[in-house]
Amino acid sequence: MKAVELNGYEGPSNLRVVDVPKPKISERECLIEVKAAGINFAELELTHGRYRLGKEPPFIMGFEAAGVVREIGESVKNLEVGDRVTTIVSSGGYAEYATAPADMVLPIPEGVGFAEATTIPIQGLTAHLLLTQVAKVKPTESLLIQAAAGGVGTYLVQLAKIMGVRKVIALVGSPDKMRFVESLGADVVFDTSRSDWMDQVRAATGGRGVDVVLEAASGEVGKDSFRLLAPFGRMIVFGARNVHDTFGPEQIRQLIYNNQTITAFNIPSYRQETIAASVGPLLALITSGKLKLFATSQFALDEVRKAFEALASRKTVGKVVLIPRTLKAGSSVGD
């Protein structure tokens, strides 16, 4: 089968299409014919060696995939061959076939395409858990969402409004994303490329600041968002790559003087029973049509470098996805 292999930690230039054997399943796994594989920012970091998996290159890339079950292990009772599923994989997802633990496989709701379904296992569940289990935002509070046009951000904006949050303030990195995020239900949307975006946020909160910040951006946007926290406000840090640059002595003093809190969230190490409790409500919202999924940036396996460039540019909307197709083994990618 064809797959995308990472051969070093010098960035996406080390990705190439290779011909490898189809992975074998254990008794508790299933084999999935991959129809779409999601790309996450953590995987971009992985290509640079900044997000290690405990193994060294070469290895097949890809945390998640959506497709059709083609084989099931002897102990698997919850799946049948032919099921449409989405999951976090145990073998690399950037491939024509991948394996997954059967107890981590989710059914794809009726009417949802494979590309859109790749958003559910990581982005969808992350957003649901952030709002319901970690931030626990009250309807009377204001909520600041960074990267609101991204994979997690599109979920967060919609879910926050579904949950009745009074004021959802969304941040985007360019003016062309503002209308899209407004269509998701955000009360106000601000462009962080403008020098006055912090003043706009303060004005939108009557000068008080925001009650909850969902911190995914780090860097200057992360530091500035932290400054916008209201007294007794709280920041939830997830997916950030430069946390050590965002928080220092100045930020610690602000926390103490204003009775604020910082909480971190990382879904891979979160309690499995708590994650499982979010699956049903999330899938119900998707099935009902109340929650829309976005995967408009789609690339073939041999365009994987272009896909990573698009993700790194932060110009994409929603999920960036790879669509497997027949390729010549060892072919050049991204040209």
CATH code of the domain containing 314 = 3.90.180.10
For residue 331, is it within any domain?
no
Q: Taking residues 238-243, what's their average pLDDT? A: 62
Helix (H, G, I), strand (E, B) or coil at 111: coil
Q: Are residues 59 and 189 in the same domain?
A: no
More confident residue, 147 or 335: 147
Q: How high is the pLDDT of residue 271? A: 83
Q: Are residues 12 and 129 in the same domain?
A: no
For residue 222, is it within any domain?
yes
Q: Are residues 103 and 139 in the same domain?
A: no
Q: Are residues 129 and 262 in the same domain?
A: yes
Q: Are residues 16 and 75 in the same domain?
A: yes
Residue 322 and residue 310: Cα distance in Å, rounded? 12
Q: Taking residues 1-29, what's their average pLDDT? A: 96
Q: Are residues 34 and 100 in the same domain?
A: yes
For residue 162, is it within any domain?
yes
Q: Are residues 226 and 211 in the same domain?
A: yes
Q: Are residues 99 and 184 in the same domain?
A: no
Q: Taking residues 154-182, what's their average pLDDT? A: 96
Are residues 208 and 232 in contact, defined by beta-carbon separation less than 8 angstroms? Answer: no
For residue 115, is it within any domain?
yes
Q: Which structural domain range is residue 157 located in? A: 123-268
- Among 186-195, 269-278, 286-295, name the one with the lowest average pLDDT: 269-278
Give the CATH number of the domain where residue 259 resides. Answer: 3.40.50.720
Q: Are residues 206 and 132 in the same domain?
A: yes
Q: What percent of the chain has pLDDT over 70?
A: 94
Confidence at 216, pLDDT banded by 50, 70, 90: confident
Q: How high is the pLDDT of residue 55? A: 82
Q: Are residues 92 and 133 in the same domain?
A: no
What does pTM read for this prediction? 0.91
Q: How high is the pLDDT of residue 5? A: 97
Confidence at 235, pLDDT banded by 50, 70, 90: very high
Domain count, the chain: 2
Q: Indicate the burial class of 111 (C-beta count within 10 angstroms; 0-12, 13-18, 19 or more).
A: exposed
Confidence at 329, pLDDT banded by 50, 70, 90: very low
Residue 12 and residue 85: Cα distance in Å, rounded? 28
Q: How high is the pLDDT of residue 243? A: 54
Confidence at 332, pLDDT banded by 50, 70, 90: very low
For residue 330, is it within any domain?
no
Q: Are residues 161 and 210 in the same domain?
A: yes
Helix (H, G, I), strand (E, B) or coil at 239: coil
